[in-house]
Amino acid sequence: MSKKRSEEEWQAILTTEQFRILRQMGTELPNTGEYNKFKGKDLSNNMKRVEITCAACDGHLGHVFQVIKFFADERHCVNSVSIKFSPEEEEKKD
């Protein structure tokens, strides 16, 4: 994909929800994403966050939150509608 597409072209290609998130920097409603299966306390309020964008199309994917006293120093929140999950194929056994 190219970053050179106009917003009208993106709107014709993407669903309404994908366009809202990828091009208008929106966020999925809590617990609505296709890949949402991890539940936990929301620690995002008043936290420093960095936007995640697609290297190919510059679309908004989500945010990385800097978290103190969490199981990791960063919490990655990516909107499911902005990505496509492709599982790795199992290695063929001889």
Six-digit token pair at 72?
A: 């990791």
Catalytic residue among 64, 77, 78, 83: 77
- Is 48:66 a contact under the CB 8 Å cutoff? yes
How crowded is the C-beta side of 13, counted as CA atoms within 13 Å? 12
According to DSSP, residue 69 is labeled S
Our answer to whether residue 54 is catalytic in this structure is: no
**How far is Cα 64 from Cα 17, in angstroms, rounded to an integer?**
21
- Residue carrying the six token digits 């990791």: 72
Which residues participate in catalysis according to the annotation? 77
